[in-house]
């Protein structure tokens, strides 16, 4: 039985000391320890074990002089290298008591045992105390890695919030699937000594680190190396946490028996389905009837059209308890905004929470304070501007979008309102072109072909100086703007709106971030609609269909369902005429300003 380290003292060690150890490792190894995930951890672990051996040697020494001698001998013996990997492992077993070394995995440490890394461990054991090195192993900061590490690290903020929501009790079985290096389990098991924990990850190196880490701080943890989508058998858990890989689809996952079984059991999933929902299904399959699971997923999976049917399966099945929109920059290596999904059984309603602003802003990374965690947990039970309980029927009306911001906007009342889709003949997005392809199309000389980007729309008007194109491939004609087409930007506040005025001989290709809307002009005047969308109530209407708090986005489906006013055409014409008159007045004033600015530049020369 391994003697578990008491974490009380190491938790009080200043974070600057921990960061200092990371920086020292990076400096001493000239950055090499940050090239491969886990090397720095193992170096710090060797240093810690050396301090263990040194401490034991000093304690048995009779005199101060003898203690100093023992210290030098212990450090030298603890870090001596040998010719073969087997001998190396045997030698370094003497770094610490046998029971601690027993938690070092069967994988060899050949790479870590390089001379420069051993020298680094020696220096660390001289510079830092045992508790300071333990604090590094407990917190394990990863800033500065040469490789992206988001796939194996869970920020402390997310772990703390997940723990608050899961509310782990005595004797409960808790799993972290895709456990990485056990960030979540290290904290959770420390707080809940009478619960049992299970971690599983496909990466052997991560599991090796996890076994060392949990071996030091916890004695109620089991770590297994393997694919979570295979060989979990009939394991069931009371609580489950998952911080699975981002940005993957089902087609990217290994074809396991479990996935084959999912295809048959859940016909809603396709090869293009986001992997997020496959992992969410996995949690449900291993969750006890009265259990609860928490997952960290990408925002896109909560609202894209590809996953609509899968979301419908979860919503109608009563599996979603709550959805929490999280702040951006919670992860060390990516600013991608994420969502926390809370799963359980038999839910008749869904709790929607917008916590995107509930954090402590940092220069490189945002974090949750204790108060932030308490506040977000409070929103799970209390109504307010940032939280709302939504009926299944309302989610269904919104295409099973699970972005909380969709449900937390104030409803706008529009007189004589109809769905926008009823007055639209055609709506499409502009062309998504690679920068290289666009550069090849650009012409330095004026032509009859031009290109429109969002930046070319200012104050509701399209710039007269659009970039020229050599020609527009007929395949791109469907992305060209027609005369009096309504243009609306797809993302980013404030949304831009314009009415295009395209001469017959001209062709204007639109950027992919613009919606091109051909209206039924027998029913609605484009300038009337533009006047509405730029009004206070129109802006509120647009904002009501937005999803994504960090990157506000409008979908075609939501756009078509948006309510717009449709008074008699005579009233529309009157408003449109007044609007165009003011717009022309602005154009004339702009010409005068441009002329005056040109004259300003000549005053000195003519003076």
In a domain, 145, yes or no: no
Q: Report the number of distinct structural domains present in the chain.
A: 3
Q: How far apart are CA 323 and CA 165, in angstroms?
A: 12
Please check whether residues 302 and 182 belong to one and the same domain.
yes
Please check whether residues 422 and 398 belong to one and the same domain.
no
Q: How far apart are CA 557 and CA 487, in angstroms?
A: 16
pLDDT at 54 over 70: no
Q: How far apart are CA 21 and CA 1, in angstroms?
A: 29
CB atoms under 10 Å from CB of 234, counted, come to 6
Q: How many helices (H) and strands (E) does the chain have?
A: 21, 21
Q: How far apart are CA 394 and CA 96, in angstroms?
A: 60
Q: How far apart are CA 320 and CA 347, in angstroms?
A: 6
Mean local confidence (pLDDT), 473-490? 95
In a domain, 446, yes or no: yes
pLDDT at 111 over 80: no
Give the percent of the chain with pLDDT over 90: 58
Burial class of residue 434 (count of CB atoms within 10 Å of its CB; 0-12, 13-18, 19+): exposed
Mean local confidence (pLDDT), 468-489? 96
Using alpha carbons, select from 266, 399, 277 the residue that is nearest to residue 339: 277
Burial class of residue 309 (count of CB atoms within 10 Å of its CB; 0-12, 13-18, 19+): middle
Instruction: Return the structure tokens found at 264.
Output: 């048959």
Please check whether residues 381 and 522 belong to one and the same domain.
no
Q: How confident is the model at residue 311 (pLDDT cuts 50, 70, 90)?
A: very high
CB atoms under 10 Å from CB of 194, counted, come to 10
Please check whether residues 316 and 386 belong to one and the same domain.
yes
pLDDT at 91 over 50: no
Q: How far apart are CA 280 and CA 350, in angstroms?
A: 16
Mean local confidence (pLDDT), 587-602? 89
CB atoms under 10 Å from CB of 35, counted, come to 12
> What is the DSSP track for 416-478?
TEEEGGGGEEEEEE-B---HHHHHHHEESS--SEEEE-GGGEETTEE-S-PPEES---GGGGG
- Among 406, 438, 456, the domain boundary falls at 406
Read off the pTM: 0.75
Please check whether residues 107 and 172 belong to one and the same domain.
no
Paired strand residues for 469: 442, 449
Give the percent of the chain with pLDDT over 70: 86
Please list, in sequence order, all residues whose beta carbon lies within 8 angstroms of the beta carbon of residue 106, skipping any fewer than 6 positions away.
none
- Among 75, 107, 139, the domain boundary falls at 139
Task: Map residue 146 onto helix, strand or coil.
Answer: coil
Question: Quick one: pLDDT at residue 178?
Answer: 94
Give, in degrees to the nearest 5, the angle at Cα 18 between 12 and 23: 165
Question: Quick one: pLDDT at residue 98?
Answer: 40
Paired strand residues for 297: 339
Please check whether residues 198 and 317 belong to one and the same domain.
yes
Distances from the Cα of 379 to the Cαs of 229, 323, 339, 366, in angstroms?
33, 11, 15, 20
Q: How confident is the model at residue 34 (pLDDT cuts 50, 70, 90)?
A: low
For 405-450, the pLDDT digits (tens) are: 889 887 788 999 999 999 999 999 999 999 999 999 999 999 999 9
Paired strand residues for 431: 511
In a domain, 151, yes or no: no
For 60-78, the pLDDT digits (tens) are: 444 445 555 554 555 555 4
Q: How far apart are CA 353 and CA 381, in angstroms?
A: 10
Question: Quick one: pLDDT at residue 114?
Answer: 74
Q: What is the dihedral of CA 167, 168, 174, 178, to 10 degrees?
A: 40
Using alpha carbons, select from 133, 217, 144, 148 the residue that is nearest to residue 180: 148
- Mean pLDDT check: name the lowest of 325-329, 336-340, 544-548: 544-548
Instruction: Return the structure tokens found at 500.
Output: 């295009």
Paired strand residues for 292: 239
Please check whether residues 394 and 423 belong to one and the same domain.
no
Q: Check: CB of residue 417 under 8 Å from CB of residue 437.
A: no
Using alpha carbons, select from 466, 272, 464, 311 the residue that is nearest to residue 395: 311
Please check whether residues 434 and 552 belong to one and the same domain.
yes
What CATH number is given to the structural domain containing 546? 3.90.220.20
Please check whether residues 109 and 160 belong to one and the same domain.
no
pLDDT at 58 over 80: no
Please check whether residues 219 and 246 belong to one and the same domain.
yes
In a domain, 387, yes or no: yes
pLDDT at 84 over 50: no
Mean local confidence (pLDDT), 497-522? 95
Q: Check: CB of residue 168 under 8 Å from CB of residue 237.
A: no
Question: Quick one: pLDDT at residue 126?
Answer: 87
Question: 108 or 509, which is more confident?
Answer: 509
Please list, in sequence order, all residues whose beta carbon lies within 8 angstroms of the beta carbon of residue 436, skipping any fewer than 6 positions away.
none
In a domain, 45, yes or no: yes
Please check whether residues 271 and 298 belong to one and the same domain.
yes
Range of the domain at 186: 156-406
Mean local confidence (pLDDT), 521-525? 96
- Mean pLDDT check: name the lowest of 91-100, 230-239, 291-300: 91-100
**To the nearest 5 percent, what fractions of the chain are helix, strand and coil?**
45, 20, 40
Please list, in sequence order, all residues whose beta carbon lies within 8 angstroms of the beta carbon of residue 187, skipping any fewer than 6 positions away.
156, 159, 160, 163
In a domain, 516, yes or no: yes
Question: Quick one: pLDDT at residue 115?
Answer: 76
- Among 387, 406, 425, the domain boundary falls at 406
In a domain, 605, yes or no: no
Please check whether residues 267 and 389 belong to one and the same domain.
yes
Question: Quick one: pLDDT at residue 33?
Answer: 61
Question: Quick one: pLDDT at residue 7?
Answer: 84
Q: Check: CB of residue 209 under 8 Å from CB of residue 216.
A: no
In a domain, 599, yes or no: no
Exposure of 482 in the CB half-sphere (CA atoms within 13 A): 14
What CATH number is given to the structural domain containing 286? 3.40.50.150
Question: Quick one: pLDDT at residue 269?
Answer: 93
Question: Quick one: pLDDT at residue 36?
Answer: 65
């Amino acid at each position: 039985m391994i003697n578990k380290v008491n974490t009380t003292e190491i938790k009080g060690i200043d974070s600057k000391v921990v960061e200092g150890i990371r920086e020292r490792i990076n400096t001493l190894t000239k950055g090499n320890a940050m090239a491969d995930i886990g090397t720095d951890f193992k170096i710090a672990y060797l240093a810690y074990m050396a301090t263990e051996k040194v401490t034991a040697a000093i304690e048995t020494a009779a005199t101060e002089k003898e203690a100093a001698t023992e210290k030098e001998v212990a450090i030298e013996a603890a870090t001596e290298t040998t010719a073969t990997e087997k001998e190396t492992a045997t030698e370094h077993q003497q770094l610490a008591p046998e029971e601690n070394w027993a938690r070092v995995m069967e994988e060899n440490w050949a790479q870590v045992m390089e001379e420069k890394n051993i020298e680094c461990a020696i220096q660390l054991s001289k510079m830092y105390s045992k508790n300071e090195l333990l604090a590094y192993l407990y917190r394990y900061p990863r800033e500065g890695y040469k490789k992206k590490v988001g796939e194996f690290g869970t920020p402390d903020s997310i772990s703390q919030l997940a723990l608050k929501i899961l509310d782990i009790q005595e004797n409960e079985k808790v799993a972290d699937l895709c456990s990485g290096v056990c960030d979540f389990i290290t904290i959770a098991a420390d707080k809940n000594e009478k619960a049992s924990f299970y971690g599983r990850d496909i990466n052997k190196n991560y599991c090796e680190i996890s076994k060392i880490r949990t071996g030091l701080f916890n004695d109620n943890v089991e770590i297994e190396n393997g694919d979570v989508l295979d060989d979990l058998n009939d394991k069931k858990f009371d609580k489950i946490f998952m911080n699975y890989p981002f940005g993957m689809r089902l087609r990217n996952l290994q074809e396991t028996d479990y996935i084959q079984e999912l295809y048959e059991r859940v016909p809603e999933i396709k090869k293009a389905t986001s992997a997020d929902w496959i992992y969410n299904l996995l949690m449900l399959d291993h969750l006890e009837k009265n259990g609860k699971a928490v997952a960290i997923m990408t925002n896109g999976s909560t609202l894209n059209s590809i996953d609509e049917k899968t979301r419908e399966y979860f919503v109608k099945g009563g599996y979603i308890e709550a959805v929490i929109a999280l702040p951006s920059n919670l992860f060390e290596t990516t600013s991608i905004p994420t969502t926390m999904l809370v799963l359980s059984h038999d839910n008749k309603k869904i709790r929607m929470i917008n916590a995107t602003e509930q954090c402590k802003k940092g220069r490189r990374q945002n974090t949750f304070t204790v108060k932030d965690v308490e506040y977000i947990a409070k929103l799970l039970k209390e109504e307010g501007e940032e939280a709302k309980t939504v009926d299944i029927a309302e989610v269904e009306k919104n295409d099973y979008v699970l972005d909380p911001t969709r449900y937390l906007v104030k409803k706008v009342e529009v007189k004589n309102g109809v769905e926008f889709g009823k007055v639209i003949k055609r709506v499409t997005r502009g062309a998504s072109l690679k920068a290289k392809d666009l550069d090849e199309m650009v012409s330095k000389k004026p032509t009859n072909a031009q290109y429109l980007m969002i930046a070319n729309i200012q104050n509701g008007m399209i710039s007269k100086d659009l970039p020229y194109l050599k020609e527009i491939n007929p395949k791109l004609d469907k992305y060209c703007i027609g005369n009096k087409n309504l243009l609306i930007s797809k993302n980013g506040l404030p949304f831009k709106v314009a009415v295009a005025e395209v001469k017959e001989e001209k062709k204007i290709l639109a950027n992919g971030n613009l919606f091109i809307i051909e209206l039924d002009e027998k029913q609605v005047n484009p300038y009337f609609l533009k006047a509405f969308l730029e009004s206070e109530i129109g802006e509120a209407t647009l904002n009501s269909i937005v999803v994504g708090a960090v990157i506000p986005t409008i979908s075609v489906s939501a756009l078509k369902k948006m309510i717009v006013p449709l008074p008699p055409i005579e009233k529309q014409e009157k408003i449109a005429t007044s609007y165009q008159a003011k717009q022309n007045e602005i154009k004339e004033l702009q010409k005068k300003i441009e002329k005056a600015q040109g004259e300003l530049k000549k005053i000195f020369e003519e003076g």
